[in-house]
Amino acid sequence: MQLHTTRSWDFMGLTLDFSSEVTPLQLAYGDDIVVGIFDTGIWPESESFQEEPDLGHVSRTWKGKCVQGEEFDPATACNQKLIGARFYYKGFEQAFGPLKEASGNLEYKSARGYLGHGTHTASTAVGSIVKNASFLDLGQGVARGGAPRARLAVYKVCWSLKVDNDMAPDDKCTDADVIKAFDDALHDGVHVISASFGSTPPTAPFWNYSADIGSFHAMQKGVSVVFSAGNDGPDPSLVTNVAPWSICVAASSLDRAFPAQIILDNNISFTGESLIAEAISDARLVGAKRYFDQGICKLDRWNNRTATRRDVVLCFSTTGSVEGGEAVEAVSKAKASGLIFVEPLSRQIADVDAIPTVRIDIIQGTKIRHYLAQSRSYPKVQILPSKTVIKKSPAPKVAYFSSRGPGSLSPDILKPDVTAPGINILAAWPPQTPPTFLPTDTRSVEWNFQSGTSMSCPHVSGVVALIKSVHPDWSPAAIKSALMTTGRKDKTYTRDTTDDIILAGSMKASDPFDIGAGHIDPLKAMDPGLVYDLKTHDYILYLCNIGFTQDQIQRMVILSPGTSTACPKGHKTNTNINYPSITVSSLQSAMTIKRTVRNVGHRKTAIYFARIVNPDGVEVVVWPRVLFFSCFKEEAFYFVTLKPVKTSQGRYDFGEIVWSDGSHHVRSPLVVCVNTITTAPPSSATTVNTGGSVPHASV
């Protein structure tokens, strides 16, 4: 397996400004909750992991410990905040050889992490409140985790793997180390597990994947597990970590940007995205062909010419299909002073680069190219330092790299479940690790920007810790339901800050395969009104329905009195699993689905009314249309009948069911693939309706 490598909490409504109304969720801040981070270890000296005032003693139920190791002394590294630290490397060494040799002598044989990934994710989930955090003065502000008073337990399961002396190290996590970490974490007494890693598609069977087995055991013990969805987007069906008993998180943007201005000949200017701290001046603009064959900005196309003057190179992603990191690496090798990298607007994300780099869109890049072609000599170029701008761009929008559904292993369960901030997240970083990991990068920083579903995962983990501290008796399924069915800022999950449909990392509107049920709203998730709950028995039936044998299921389950792994006779559909969303991967004729909800609102007597948005070509009937709850009836069930009313061959369309009592709006996405043409040719493929957005009414 590999890792799925300040403003975000304010963006999601978890402000530190107590001049306004304070909610119980904010007051809790995750007290007495232990979050286990499965990652690359931690830099314990970071301010993010120092004790909050009046944090108090650790609960007596905690059985974990801090394990001595290289450059990691529990007496000084651990405290009332960082209460657990373990490391696992036997699986890594069996796969890749001795740790020191495989890592190029970069790694510590302890919970201390060289790779900053683990420090970053831990800081995002539960980091203490730190003022004046920034990356070279960019993104300056107060940094903290979602649950700053929660306790932290670190389980180092991923390690550096040196691939080349001139390149950044790779990262690897083995099944043996991960499953051992799950065993220890559950014994130690963690309440939430955050795991920002996953396997490369195709998806392995649940019974053959340590993360799925471990997270099943966690669910049985009432522990929520949060995974990253993967960074293989935007193509469909590459989402990973798709088990229904865990939470799978996609990545989306914040309402923060880092614009940088490019000025040519003091005459014409352009604006791109960058994380440049110092200006570039007295430089000239050159085309990629000066240093690279056919203008393809890759190392294997470098013509061995090195810059003798201050050159800024103009490279296009579309010339030779070049990724931003490849262009940065190649232009760095040519000793150029900077890079203007042109790529589609949907991929334009500022990054921490080895050389000053500005990313601009194709339209502006084309104008710069024409200007360069018409100039008699190389134009003079000046690049001004980046600025931090908030609330000026619509957000969220889905990251182009975020892995999409439907899940290839079980398409009748919607994955990803939700989306959360995962682009340019500022969090703690080891000062001895370069922000780019490259040996040529000599910078030392205590905070760094990172992008990926690895960053969105700990955002959800922090929110789960908050909910758990307020509702300690809620099951992992109930907590996930609360996250999936609530709306953000009195708008539905699918709307951005301008009340428009969230974009899917392109010009098209997003759908549930991009964002799951939508963007999380921490405050509303604390009081969802209704929840959809699931128990171990439900998940065993799910495994039976997808064809697992009793022997395979027994590999997954902690066997205890009253737990049966026997499968009932006859095949049943998983559409009746009490999931917060409804997905039908092949609707050929009318079918009826059952759902059960439990009232967890403050008012025990409540009446909920249904509102329906039909997927295109599907007639939806909900019965009953009204649900009644009282002190004597906290649960109610309803039926959903789906009837295809169009002729279609494997096309997905989207709708929703919303239950409302006037103050709560409990939304379940409807994902339906109408497949009424049964004689499809072997070469046909399932398509997704991208022709428009789901009809939407205000709730």
pLDDT (0 to 100) of residue 517: 93
Task: Please write the tens of the pLDDT for every residue from 566-577.
Answer: 888 876 788 899
Catalytic residue status for 117: yes
For CATH 2.60.40.2310, list the domain ranges present in the chain: 578-699
Q: Tell whether the model's pLDDT for residue 427 goes beyond 50.
A: yes
Q: Please give the average per-residue pLDDT across 85-96, as a whole number.
A: 96
* Given the residues 215, 454, 456, 585, the one annotated as active site: 454
Element (H, E) at 523: helix 522-525
Alpha carbons 35 and 38: distance in angstroms, whole number: 10
- C-alpha 36/C-alpha 64 separation (Å) is 11
For range 13-35, the mean pLDDT: 65
Residue ranges of the chain that CATH labels 3.50.30.30: 259-387
What tens digit of pLDDT does each residue of 524-566 get? 999 999 999 999 999 999 999 988 988 899 888 988 887 888 8
Q: Which CATH architecture has domain 259-387?
A: 3-Layer(bba) Sandwich (3.50)
Q: Is the pLDDT of residue 684 over 80?
A: no
- Which is catalytic among the residues 117, 459, 471, 519? 117
Find all residues with CB under 8 Å of 575, minimum gap 6, and list them: 412, 582, 583, 584, 591, 593
pLDDT for the residue 169: 82
What is the pLDDT of the chain when averaged over all its residues? 88
Long-range contacts of 344-347 (CB under 8 A, 24+ apart): 344/317, 346/400, 346/505, 346/506, 346/507, 347/317, 347/400
Question: How far apart are alpha carbons 37 and 458 in whole angstroms?
Answer: 9
39 is catalytic: yes
Distance CA 142, CA 17 (A): 11
Q: Which of 4, 8, 32, 39 is catalytic?
A: 39
What is the predicted pLDDT for the residue at 560?
A: 81
Can you tell me the mean pLDDT for 576-591? 94
Write down the pLDDT at residue 59: 84
Task: Point out the least confidently predicted range of 206-210, 237-241, 414-418.
Answer: 206-210
Where is pLDDT greater, at 334 or 510? 334
489: left (phi over 0), alpha (psi -120 to 50) or beta: left
Mean pLDDT for 126-134 is: 92
Is residue 487's pLDDT more than 80? no
Q: Which residue has the higher pLDDT, 83 or 651?
A: 83
- Tokens standing for 340? 């203007």
Catalytic residue at 510? no
CATH C-level class of 578-699: mainly beta
Q: Which CATH architecture has domain 2-251+400-416+427-496?
A: 3-Layer(aba) Sandwich (3.40)
Which regions of the chain carry the CATH code 3.40.50.200? 2-251+400-416+427-496
Would the pTM of this model clear 0.85, i.e. be above it?
yes
Rounded Cα–Cα distance for residues 402 and 468 (Å): 27
Interior angle at CA 322, CA 320 and CA 325, nearest 5? 160
The CB density around residue 591, as the number of other CB atoms within 10 Å, is 15
Contact 59, 31 (CB under 8 A): no
